Structure 1
């Protein structure tokens, strides 16, 4: 399969950087505009499954606690949003909002993977696969951190609700 458009390599690199910047910022901006109430609901695709053991699976498999502090919070780029670098309080409402914002972040990063196949349009095939790999390597760790944090918060908030 040949690329649809042919550019010199230096232009391909510039186009790739600009395209990823556009996709990341656009998807983030759109997701920031979604109402919080949408993320407060328990949609199937955001539920923490029992096999995740309230997020402990992610710690066991990937040692999330060791490296999650090194991930840059996207709110510093758009100067908007809800920072997830730390809790904003320990009350039920604070934890519920934090958990909802982890859903927003997870959703944003799942959507950020979707444009990767478009890079085959102007990249050689090998570079298109590098773009797929980039999308996965950049986004999956952040998704894992969101599921880890939400699993832990969900376990705590379920104790509030049971009381």
Structure 2
């Protein structure tokens, strides 16, 4: 339900500014989480047998064909861990990469959560559009992290 009304110009400006703020704030928050946070095998981050070590994601979405075109948000932060390529092929390198895919996946799941706030200053139809945007924008990143982590898990076992 729209509680605040702005002109079209200011609504669009606030929408853009709010998304930039939420994406950057959530990313910065997740970067501050200690790596030990991701060493568990939480339900949201574990790779399930039905994912076939990530192969399911490539079969459904052809991840290999487009994942290289995604922006690596780690480049925006000095302490970010870039995931465009492996940092090494040793066991420790693969484990670190897998942990960082969990961090990235959590970041993108959390980046969907602010979408309902846009109903406060947008008409309902635009509020729903913001929810669609949040899902459509973040889903490729979530799928890519699950795909990569599944492959890494297979390499480590």
TM score, norm. by length of structure 2: 0.98
Paired residues, number: 157
Map Cα deviations across residues 126-162 of structure 1 (whole Å, 9 max, x no partner).
111110111011101100000000000001101xxxx
| 1:149 is the counterpart of 2:148 | yes
Q: Distance in 2 between matches of 1:77 and 1:88?
A: 18
**Aligned residue for 2:124?**
125
Q: Distance in 2 between matches of 1:41 and 1:129?
A: 34
Q: Distance in 1 between matches of 2:39 and 2:87?
A: 17
More helix by share: 1
| 1:96 is the counterpart of 2:95 | yes
Shift of 1:38: 1.3
**Aligned residue for 1:116?**
115
Displaced runs of 4 or more, over 4 A:
none
**Aligned residue for 1:40?**
39
CA-based RMSD of the aligned residues comes to: 0.8
Q: Distance in 2 between matches of 1:44 and 1:3?
A: 35
Q: Please say if residues 27 and 112 of structure 1, whose CA atoms lie closer than 8 Å, have aligned partners that are also in contact.
A: yes
Shift of 1:110: 0.1
| 1:87 is the counterpart of 2:49 | no
Q: Please say if residues 40 and 96 of structure 1, whose CA atoms lie closer than 8 Å, have aligned partners that are also in contact.
A: no
Structure 2, gaps ≥5 residues long: none
Map Cα deviations across residues 87-145 of structure 1 (whole Å, 9 max, x no partner).
00000000000000000000000000000000000001111111011101110110000
**Aligned residue for 2:62?**
63
Q: Distance in 1 between matches of 2:57 and 2:151?
A: 11
